[in-house]
Amino acid sequence: MELAKLISLALLLWPTVADVAEVDTCEAEGGCDDTGFAQLRATIARQQHVGTAEREMCDPTTTTQQFCQNGNPCPDCGTQSCDCNTAPSPEPPSPQPPSPQPPSPDGQYCGRTGEICSSDELCIGTYHSWSCEPMQFCGNTFQKCTQDAPVCVGGYKSWGCVGNCANNMACQAPEGDWDGCNTCGDRLAWLLRQGGDSSWDEALAQVAEEFPSECGCLG
């Protein structure tokens, strides 16, 4: 009976003795504050270890998409084993459409206009006067002029396409009320309207010969 009482008393006094021993241990090791910090660091290390061991992994390469326990789809980390707590990789930027290219039928501007004629237009003019004109059939030829010879000139049944020099002004000595000036194209057309005395080739050659500087492209 006495032995049982002693054992019960010892159990009751054990927490008090343990607290005293812990205090003595703190003082022996340099203070309870330092010991508390050490215990705190050890606790955090154990929690980190447990968190790493319980990390949820998933496979983003499966045919059927996997979902993590948090409800998010499995993030793509570039491998077959990805951490569910890892933020998904950002989407690559969408490719930008290429800048539109300006229209450039032949890559040349029309005179000094700063304008590029479209594929169904011809650049016609002379000196400081230029413009893009619609491509049309020339007289009764049933043919359309090209940029190499864009000006349609003729009279009656003789028509043809010539170069832009047809718009140049060619002057001779005045006669009466006439100042003696006409364009190369008008001179060519006048010859062709003289009852067929001059063929197309002959009329071209005559105008180019009389005014080589202004109408040389007709020859």
List, for residues 86-121, the tens digit of each pLDDT value: 765 566 677 776 665 554 444 578 887 788 888 888
Percent of the chain predicted with pLDDT > 70: 66
**Cβ atoms 109, 115 nearer than 8 A:** yes
Pairing mode of beta strands 169-171, 158-162: unpaired
| 39-69 per-residue burial string, b: 16 or more CB within 10 A, e: under 16 | eeeeeeeeeeeeeeeeeeebebeeeeeeebe
Which pLDDT score is estimated for 178?
85
Q: How many residues does the chain have?
A: 219
Spell out a b/e string for 202-218, using b for 16 or more CB atoms within 10 Å of the CB, else e.
Answer: ebbebbbeebeebbebb
pTM, full prediction: 0.47
Q: How many Å apart are CA 139 and CA 167, to the nearest integer? A: 17
Whether the CB-CB separation of 151 and 144 falls below 8 Å is answered with: no
| Segment holding 207, helix H or strand E | helix 200-210
Cα–Cα distance, 77 to 84 (Å, whole number): 10
Supply the pLDDT for residue 155. Answer: 75
Q: For residue 53, give the 3-state DSSP assignment.
A: helix
Torsion of CA 198, 204, 207, 211, to 10 degrees: -160
> In the structure encoding, which two tokens stand for residue 138, read together?
């020339």
Q: What is the DSSP letter of 166?
A: G
Number of Cβ within 10 Å of residue 105's Cβ equals 13
Provide the pLDDT for residue 104: 44
The radius of gyration computed from the CA coordinates of the chain, to the nearest angstrom, equals 51
Q: Which two tokens stand for residue 206?
A: 């005559």
The DSSP bridge pattern shows strands 158-162 and 151-155 to be antiparallel
Using a pLDDT cut of 90, give the percent of the chain over it. Answer: 14
pLDDT digits (tens, 9 = 90+) for 32-91: 555 555 555 555 544 444 444 467 888 888 888 888 888 888 888 888 888 888 765 566
Lowest mean pLDDT of 27-41, 161-175, 177-191, name the range: 27-41
**Rounded CA separation 178/57 (Å):** 100
